[in-house]
Amino acid sequence: MKNQEIMLKDLKYNWHPCTQMKDHEFLPLIPIKKGEGVYLEDFEGNRYIDAISSWWVNLFGHSNHYINEKIKTQLETLEHVIFAGFTHEGAVRLGERICKLTGFDKVFYADNGSSAVEIAIKMSFHYWKNKGKIRPLFFSLENSYHGETIGALSVGDVGLYKDTYKEILIKNITLPIPKDESEEETNKALKKTREIFEKYHKDVSALIIEPLIQCAGYMKMHSSLFIKGLRELCDEFDIHLIADEIAVGFGRSGSMFACEQAGIKPDFMLLSKGLTGGYLPLSLVLTTNEVYMAFYCDYKELKAFLHSHSYTANPLGIAAANATLDIFERGEVFFESGEFRIVDKPKRSVLENNKIISEYIWEKMQKFRELPNVKEIRQKGMISAIEMIDYPWEKRMGLRVYEWGLKNGVLLRPLGNVIYFMPPYVINKEEIDKMVDVAFSGIKRLNELN
């Protein structure tokens, strides 16, 4: 089959996510036949560097041989089992490993990031209710994004996704964020936040944040001091802190988890996306024994947390997650070549290799400062962003860069006027050069087109 034939058949039947489908009257829909490493390949042999890790999920490359084998092995013994009243070896192993890795006590399994957010806000509210307190409100941050189900939308602040549904959302209070990462702006935001805490804290169950990087919020970045200050306010006013590490966890921020850079531990941590290396839908809600014990009682007290998903703790997804943790523990990635292998004692850890990659990307990004239509470049860990000038949204200038990227073999999916890089960790020097150069030429040519 050829690209055009598959595209037309797809458009006849399928409704794609986060897409104005009419755009595909002029914008090609790319059918992918296979993936390998950082590359996606269509049915006509065209290859694209996956510079966004297929919506931030892929860590160690497409068709990673190690993860493939672990899923195949699991498939031969158990594909799924109900997780109420039953368990399986993979879930026991993953629960133990993730608790030891993060310092949390309990794991609640779900299917995706939005589901994890829904669980955390329900669990927080229910905790307080079990304690005899009704706290119907939540705090979240300006410019935040936590998913597109109703509860997750409610605690987000990106109008493009949220405004249409405002009449059916739960109650939420938005807190200010710093204008930049300076200590002065951080303290200003924390001062305003304290005033809001003082006024509403008795009615608030939890504050939910994306630590350090608001990914869908145009890659806005905060200092660790801001995150630490929010934790201190939650402690002072007895409010839960939910850390949404769905996008930034598993090395994206530079550390294994972003909260580590602030030296804080939230009451809930949410993990997904990179959890399975980009293979299968799975998410985790991590919490403490203190929260768990508020639900632990005789059945007749009716305090149990009655939330479930049909595919809770699916063995195939968990096999991928355990394989992903294996790679963090024993994986060796070489920036120079992108070569990957599993060894007993890695000479260079995944995070150490990521540091080399991110430093090289940052070095290459400096030339964007020369462009008159670039306002700012920024980076934290393996997430790098180029913010263009404030083009009117109707012009969709980011979409032009996206189209240019496809024509030149790089998948660059913009966030408004922000072009960003969030590649798999197995990207090599040559591939980074192409990724950055294509983005540079795509942004530069806007000056000629505009």
Q: What is the pLDDT along the chain (450 residues), one digit of tens a residue?
A: 899 999 999 999 999 999 999 999 999 999 999 999 999 999 999 999 999 999 999 999 999 999 999 999 999 999 999 999 999 999 999 999 999 999 999 999 999 999 999 999 999 999 999 999 999 999 999 999 999 999 999 999 998 889 999 999 999 999 999 999 999 999 999 999 999 999 999 999 999 999 999 999 999 999 999 999 999 999 999 999 999 999 999 999 999 999 999 999 999 999 999 999 999 999 999 999 999 999 999 999 999 999 999 999 999 999 999 999 999 999 988 787 777 788 988 888 999 999 999 999 999 999 999 999 999 999 999 999 999 999 999 999 999 999 999 999 999 999 999 999 999 999 999 999 999 999 999 999 999 876
What DSSP character marks residue 233? H
Burial string for 362-385 (b: 16+ CB within 10 Å, else e) reads eebbeebeebeebeebbbbbbbbb
Cα–Cα distance for residue pair 288/103, rounded to 1 Å = 9
pLDDT of 84 reads: 97
Cα–Cα distance for residue pair 340/337, rounded to 1 Å = 9
pLDDT of 339 reads: 77
Cα–Cα distance for residue pair 114/133, rounded to 1 Å = 26
Task: Please say whether the beta carbons of 60 and 339 come within 8 A.
Answer: no
Architecture of the domain made up of 81-313:
3-Layer(aba) Sandwich (3.40)
Closest by alpha carbon to 227, among 199, 197, 189?
189
**Range(s) for CATH 3.40.640.10 in the chain?**
81-313
pLDDT of 321 reads: 98
Compute how many other C-beta atoms are within 10 angstroms of the C-beta atom of residue 191.
11
**Range(s) for CATH 3.90.1150.10 in the chain?**
31-63+348-449
Q: Which fold has domain 31-63+348-449?
A: Aspartate Aminotransferase, domain 1 (3.90.1150)
Cα–Cα distance for residue pair 23/398, rounded to 1 Å = 14
- Residue 257, class by beta-carbon neighbours within 10 Å (0-12 exposed, 13-18 middle, 19+ buried)? buried
Task: Please say whether the beta carbons of 309 and 110 come within 8 A.
Answer: yes
pTM of the model: 0.97
Mode of pairing for the β-strands spanning 137-141 and 172-175: parallel
Q: Which residues contact 93 (CB under 8 A, 6 or more apart)?
A: 322
Cα–Cα distance for residue pair 417/375, rounded to 1 Å = 10
pLDDT of 450 reads: 67
Cα–Cα distance for residue pair 42/438, rounded to 1 Å = 19
Strand partners, 244: 270
Task: Please say whether the beta carbons of 104 and 287 come within 8 A.
Answer: yes
Cα–Cα distance for residue pair 445/450, rounded to 1 Å = 9
Residues of the chain by 3-state class (helix, strand, coil), percent to 5: 45, 20, 35
